[in-house]
Chain A
Amino acid sequence: MAANGAQMAGNATKRAPAPAKKAGKSESAKAVSGPKPFTKEEDLRAYRDMLLIRRFEEKAGQLYGMGLIGGFCHLYIGQEAVVVGMQMATIEGDQVITGYRDHGHMLACGMEANGVMAELTGRRGGYSRGKGGSMHMFSREKNFYGGHGIVGAQIALGTGLAFANRYNSNGNVSLAYCGDGAANQGQVYESFNMAELWSLPVVYVIENNRYAMGTSVSRASAQTDFSKRGVSFNIPGEQVDGMDVQAVREAAMRAITHARSGKGPYILEMQTYRYRGHSMSDPAKYRSKDEVEKMRNEHDPIEQVRNRLLGKHKISEEEIKAVDAEIRKIVNESAEFATHDPEPDASELWTDIVK
């Protein structure tokens, strides 16, 4: 995944950097004349990566229902195009950091399904050896810096990753994700200020799935256009159709190129939707079934790519089914591993407190 990403971002950096959009004049993605279409290979990659997240999350929901996963479990179903499209515009070494709805980001960064699922079940083969759980996983090797349970904290931390990139002059960009809810936290704006002041290479990805837990955007946000949230810091931003992986990748390339070229931070508001409740115990009574059904039926990010593969790219049903089967196998194996792997040894209680 990383090698592929590197190759694509290599192409991306050859593009002339898009002129930084003036903050305050955020454009809707719809106003732009359509994103560059994916090649067959790109669509296949996007399909595979998004389907892995979808099936993984469905399985996690099932294991939760069986009592094998405890505590909080926030699923990413519906939002897959955001992280997959973003990763298609990165190069090796670019970091990712996000909040607690993080399983999709880990998989998109190339972390193993087995290790993620085993962490969800609290087993020793999990990425945090069972000591972190759903919201606290990390992989320095894959440049994934968590997995943070305090809403908005990851934005300041992600700005710190960008600070390190600039300090080390390594040419990397940090992608700091948060939701529409976290976007109202004070430290987000403290971070915006420093990032622009110091021209830090960071892209802030605000995943607007319309609900901060049970509170709709319009009930919580005075400014509901999140791309404008950087206006007073002169940070350019744009709204993106976060259900369309092509649109996401195109915007990601613009934003990452801007950040990597030393022009400072960039804000992408990803207009997306979560199909499931906020967490497993959320009956989602704050929205209508019709609303959910409409998104699923008309805007599903995976269906869009599947239709392109079958139509425009002339891939056969059998080939698609082969991908589906491969993904199902990975996910089933991860569940198998995560339910058979032993719990951490009791002595782990006392390890990793200080180095």
Chain B
Amino acid sequence: MPIDILMPALSPTMESGTLAKWLKKEGDKIKSGDVIAEIETDKATMEVEAVDEGVLAKILIGNGTENVAVNTKIAIIAAEGEDVGAAASGGGAAPAPVAAPVVAPAPAATVPAAPKTEMPAYDASSEVPAGTEMVKTTVREALRDAMAEEMRRDDKVFVMGEEVAEYQGAYKVTQGLLQEFGARRVIDTPITEHGFAGVGVGAAMTGLRPIVEFMTFNFAMQAIDHIINSAAKTLYMSGGQLGCPIVFRGPNGAAARVAAQHSQCYAAWYSQIPGLKVVMPYTAADAKGLLKSAIRDENPIIFLENEILYGQSFDVPKMDDWIVPIGKARVARVGHHVTLVAFGIGMTYAMKAADALAGEGIEAEVIDLRTIRPMDVATVVRSIQKTNRCVAIEEGWPQSGVTSEIGMKIMEEAFDYLDAPVIRVTGKDVPMPYAANLEKLALPTVADVVAAAKAVLYR
């Protein structure tokens, strides 16, 4: 059957072009891959290659013809053994796929609504069974215990990062792991964040469960391409085939007097990415329970710790398998006048401010988000339904921050319950200064939170 040659599109935006020149003439034999013509667009001159074999039976659009629309029939090829004359006069049947009517796209005029998983407000108070013994534990020890328990449970879990093994962790979070699990599973890497993040993601694609420690998240900026492009997007891009069960963890945000390059909070950055879960615990109990959940999760998890919190002690339930679910907030203090929403180290300001406010007869409800993405908005909304007022707190920068997102979610889902605008207390919109006095000025304070709470109460 004769084959039509159509005017090709050479870019997604090309609609027509000039047929500059035929490089073959009628009667020429054509092999697949032969350049048969040149066409011009406003951007470039391109060659047209034959895909089929046979004899060029007829040229329908001559040299120099302008404005030839894409998919116009420009020539006819007689397939091998066919009568060239008949092909030329009869016109070609289109090559197999060409003639096939393109399936009309499914009517996608309306964007399907995001699946709404009914997420009721969460009650974290039932997480610990009554009568459970509590053990004072530092956040540092809690994180180590979580990793050790999960490594005992599953041989696929391993830890890699700078100084995690022989040095016992730059911040001693991996203390003792090398001794218990050996060098196969506790792996010191060179200082090569981009590279070892990629190695971790590649290993996770095969089904291993890496815990990749960044000495601090500041250095993870070198690796952020793998975190986002390789880890977070692959499940979607593979149509659900290839997951990436990996935990990226390490200290995040300001420590003390380490200046701009070592003091950044990445909660807002990572929380924007579909495909990631972002966890930022405050207490040791949450650090342990959430890290265990993160290690068992099938998705890439950003687990943001804080150097200042590492040494702080909290009650941790003594249980065989203490797990805290990802994506659930915790009411850290019950109150009814105003809701304070915070996470990670931001909780220190919220809790102290609540104490101070109580002294003035104001009962603040404090919500620890614990997970930034997916965000437990329902628990925040439930609280606002009671208090009608909200202050959101974070150490990170204000623009496009996590607290901006909290404010917008409240607008969308609890606007009618508000008796005052939501106020944010954030780090100042400046790189972190080194000087002690300036650093102090750049960070939120308890007084800022108290003042904000009074402002939304119009006191």
Contact = CB atoms under 8 A, between A and B. Distances in A.
Contact of A281 (B44, B100, B230): B44
A55 interface: yes
A138 B235 CA distance: 10
Interface stretch (A1-9, A223-231, A262-270, A331-339): A331-339
Interface stretch (A17-25, A38-46, A59-67): A59-67
B6 A65 contact: yes
A354 B363 CA distance: 38
Contacts of B298: 354-355
Contacts of B277: 354
Interface in B236-253: 236-243
A326 B444 CA distance: 71
A167 B194 contact: no
A313 interface: no
B137 interface: no
A340 B96 CA distance: 12
B430 interface: no
A186 B226 CA distance: 13
A153 B198 contact: yes
A346 B205 CA distance: 27
Contact of B239 (A77, A131, A280): A131
Given A65-B9, A71-B12, A167-B184, A275 B236 contact: no
Interface size class of B (residues with CB under 8 A): 35 or more
B65 interface: no
Contact of B103 (A95, A157, A341, A355): A341
Nearest to A70: B12
Nearest to A71: B12
Contacts of B196: 190, 194
B225 A346 contact: no
B44 A163 contact: no
B237 A156 contact: no
A307 to B, nearest CB: 15
Nearest to B194: A187
A353 B47 CA distance: 40
Contact of B229 (A59, A153, A285, A344): A153
A335 B239 contact: no
B239 A194 contact: no
B203 A280 contact: no
A146 B33 CA distance: 27
Contacts of A352: 235-236, 238-240
Interface of A: 54-55, 58-59, 61-68, 70-71, 77, 95, 97, 123, 126-132, 136-140, 145-150, 153, 155-164, 167-168, 186-187, 190-191, 193-194, 197, 275-277, 280-281, 283, 285, 296, 332, 335-336, 338-347, 349-355
30 contacts: A58-B51, A67-B9, A67-B71, A70-B12, A127-B239, A129-B240, A131-B236, A131-B238, A136-B238, A137-B238, A140-B242, A145-B205, A145-B242, A159-B202, A160-B200, A160-B201, A167-B158, A167-B208, A187-B195, A191-B198, A281-B10, A283-B44, A283-B47, A335-B97, A342-B106, A346-B106, A352-B239, A353-B235, A354-B298, A355-B298
3 shortest interchain CB distances as A-B pairs? A160-B202, A156-B198, A65-B8
